[in-house]
Amino acid sequence: MKALIGSMILLAGGFLLSGCFSVGSATFPEPTVNFQPKKVYNVSADTLWKAVEATLQSQRINVATEDKADGRMKTDYIQGPTQLNIVPGMPTLATRYRYDITVQSAGRSQSNLTIFCTLESSSKTMAWHDVSKDNLERVASLENWLYEKIEKSLSAP
């Protein structure tokens, strides 16, 4: 019984020291360790565009706007993790992100792919705002994850 109480005290103390914990099932996707995107692909812009669309669909990422003639696509927001703070006075933080994608022809059989991720955060006391510059590693990881998924789509039979 004493061991159980001691464990509960340690667990509660850990929560208080950390100040927050994640709720819900949303997590940020991660690319394979050491993955580096090509960004230039030996396929036509049309083939690359179709691979991007197929990848977004397979990952259940909705497209908000697209202009194939201009080679631009913007996704809807994707829910990220939410952190529930248990320290009094500290707000719950929610995150979301979206992608701006550009596909451009670089010749007859080459295309460029550019992916920019925007990461946002909000709480009860703060509206959604861009936190990308404060989270450069997370943003790069989200971008690389999508590059990797698209590259796998291109290499699939």
Which of 22-31, 42-51, 67-76, 120-129 has the lowest average pLDDT? 22-31
- What pLDDT shows up at residue 27? 84
Position 3 confidence tier, pLDDT thresholds 50, 70, 90: low
Q: Does residue 22 surpass a pLDDT of 50? A: no
Residue spans of the domains in the chain: they are: 22-155
- What pLDDT shows up at residue 93? 85
Position 17 confidence tier, pLDDT thresholds 50, 70, 90: very low
Give 91-138 pLDDT, tens digit per residue. 688 999 999 999 999 988 999 999 999 999 998 888 999 999 999 999
Mean pLDDT of the chain: 84
**50: number of Cβ within 10 Å:** 16
- What pLDDT shows up at residue 21? 38
Third-level CATH fold of 22-155: Alpha-D-Glucose-1,6-Bisphosphate; Chain A, domain 4 (3.30.530)
Q: Does residue 36 surpass a pLDDT of 70? A: yes
- What pLDDT shows up at residue 15? 40
- 109-140 burial by CB neighbour count: b if 16+ within 10 A, else e? eebbbebebbbbbbbeeeeeeebbeebeebbe
Give the helix/strand (H/E) hosting 4. Answer: helix 2-18
pTM score, whole prediction: 0.79
* 3 state DSSP class of 56: helix
- What pLDDT shows up at residue 60? 96
**φ, ψ dihedrals at 145, nearest 5°:** -60, -45
